[in-house]
Amino acid sequence: MKLGVFDSGVGGASIALALTRSFPSAQIDSINDHKNVPYGDKSDSQVFLLTHTAIQPFLDGTYDVIILACNTATAVTIDQLRNQYPSQKFIGIEPMIKTASHLTKSNTIGVCATPATLSSRRYAKLVQTYGQHLDIIEPDCSQWAYLIENNQINRAHIESTIRSLCDRGADVIVLGCTHYHWIKELIAEIADNRAVIIEPSEAISRRVRQLIAV
């Protein structure tokens, strides 16, 4: 099995690591676009052009599945990519609104994501389908991907954001950007059992199994 993993920056490495654990015998290749990160503050046309250009090595017909390990790239480009390459299997990553809706007891959740993801049609559809009964808090995380990418984590800002979510009653916090996976433990520590922290690494492995029956 041959899998291609793309992300705008270092976030995809966490997905590639999870896939390696699930499929130790698979060939898993990763590509990122560090020079153009973050994608979350770019226009849709820019995101598509950058994503399409970056994944060219994966479009040679030899990859069983291409994983867009980037919420922003998924939200903006995956429908167009599937239309343009109908014989290629793609898996995208989206904020786990459906899962959060099942887990929450307070009906209040926090979604930490980029501006591009939060303003996308795909995200709006997720909220309409699974989150109409929820109070969904979307804090300003617009600088997080850049800070994580450049190893400049501002703990005070992260702490303020997560504590504010918990104080407002959020008992589930969705990590809607793969960059944020690298600070999941920090976020969980700050939440201090007041909220469940969720991200889609395990779900991606399950989806690969479904698509190629392994």
Q: Where do the structural domains in the chain lie, given as residue ranges?
A: 2-93+201-212, 97-198
Long-range contacts of 86-90 (CB under 8 A, 24+ apart): 87/61, 88/59, 88/61, 88/63, 89/64, 89/65, 89/211, 89/212, 90/65, 90/66
pLDDT in tens, 113-167: 989 889 989 999 999 999 999 999 999 998 898 888 888 888 898 999 999 999 9
Alpha-carbon distance of 155 to 56, in angstroms, equals 37
2-93+201-212 placed in CATH 3.40.50.1860: yes
pLDDT in tens, 51-61: 999 999 999 99
Residue 177 is a catalytic residue: yes
State whether residue 6 is helix, strand or coil.
Answer: strand
pTM: 0.84
Query: How confident is the model at residue 214, as a pLDDT?
Result: 56
Amino acid at 15: I
Q: CA-based angle 43:44:49, to the nearest 5?
A: 100
Amino acid at 37: V
Residue 70 is a catalytic residue: yes
Are 2-93+201-212 and 97-198 the same fold in CATH? yes
Alpha-carbon distance of 73 to 113, in angstroms, equals 12
Catalytic residue among 112, 141, 166, 177: 177
State whether residue 213 is helix, strand or coil.
Answer: coil
Q: Which distant-in-sequence residues (6+ apart) come within 8 Å of 161 by Cβ? A: 112, 139, 140, 141
Average pLDDT for residues 101-123, to the nearest whole number?
Answer: 94
Q: Is the pLDDT of residue 203 over 90?
A: no
Catalytic residue among 70, 112, 141, 166: 70
Query: How confident is the model at residue 147, as a pLDDT?
Result: 87
Q: Which of 10, 110, 122 is nearest to 70 (CA)?
A: 10
**Of 13-17, 21-25, 103-107, 151-155, highest mean pLDDT:** 103-107
- As its CATH architecture, domain 97-198 has 3-Layer(aba) Sandwich (3.40)
